[in-house]
Amino acid sequence: MPFGTIKLNDGNEIPAIAYGTGSVNKGKDIHAQVEQAIETGFWHIDTAQWYQNEESVGVAIRESGLARSDLYVTTKYGGGDIQEAIRASLSKLDIKSVDLYLIHSPGLISNGDFEGAWKEFEKIKEDGLSKTIGVSNFSVDDLQKISKSAHVKPAVNQIRLHPYNYSENKSLLEYHAAHGIVTEAYGSLASITTYPGGPVDIPVNVAAKLRGVTPTQVVFLWVKAKGAVIVTTSSNKQHLEEYLAVGDIDPLTEAEVLAIDEAGALGPPKKMSRKQFSMGFLVTFFIFAGYRMYACTV
């Protein structure tokens, strides 16, 4: 497989790319899409109580014919009694345990009792219902509330991460790095799907052209450069193959990553301003300069 795994702070490992079943798939029977993803090469399936499709994910797992150990399954707590929620998810998925169980959002914690909720999650790990426990959409403040009494650190924080929100998440990513928390990134293609025509397009397109790859692949290379697990989805097999192929593409240079960071910091405008257009040319020049410096060292 083109993508490997990333070591977690509890000693387990997580596949570096996951097939997500949320977003537009909420409440839908998506077993066919999940089966296609598995057949294409995805072996990390990400679902959630809130997505209301754990049953169809379970169907896909059964129909894949793979041993349970050949698949990495993530689901997320979406409210209610925590112990009842994990058991309900396992029943719908038709498996005895998940590989990763996340608190989907800090707002789901009853009465703001972060310490109490995390104790329940630690019990889930202790009871073997999930190998690894973590969180999703948590801020630094949220993580600090858990850390006050945690015996087991959150291994993962799954967040929305793309070039246009990187600067506002930088302190969070630094906190992750300092505490051994792996970042999972969803929504990373926002610069292409939600904010096309912005300043990020220029450095991304230049890097894509230099490598003979797609802008989508460059964005995922940027996510990899941040040390994050990619969480993505598509019902199109060619797109899935495109995503998995990122594992075989040479990484971005430091200059390219910095150029995308700086372009993202300009923000996602509806229309590119003259200033942003000029900055786009500057970051493009920066990329070429970085390549020239790199070429002189090899």
Query: Tell me, what amino acid is at 71?
Result: L
> For the packed helices 114-126 and 140-147, what is the interaxial angle rounded to 10 degrees?
70
At residue 133, the 3 state secondary structure works out as strand
For tokens 């899935």, what's the residue? 240
Q: Residue 230 in contact with residue 258, Cβ under 8 Å?
A: no
Letter for the amino acid at 270? Answer: K
Residues annotated in a binding site = 104
| Dihedral (CA of 113, 114, 117, 118) sign | negative
Report the candidate in 95, 99, 97, 90 with the shortest Cα–Cα distance to residue 13. 99
Residues identified as active-site: 51
- C-alpha to C-alpha distance for 60 and 119, rounded to whole angstroms: 32
Classified as helix, coil or strand, 76 is: strand
| C-alpha closest to that of 95 among 67, 119, 122 | 67
Q: Among candidates 157, 63, 151, which has minimal Cα distance to 106?
A: 157
Residues 90 and 98 sit within 8 Å (Cβ to Cβ): yes
Q: Which of 68, 107, 89 is nearest to 21 (CA)?
A: 89
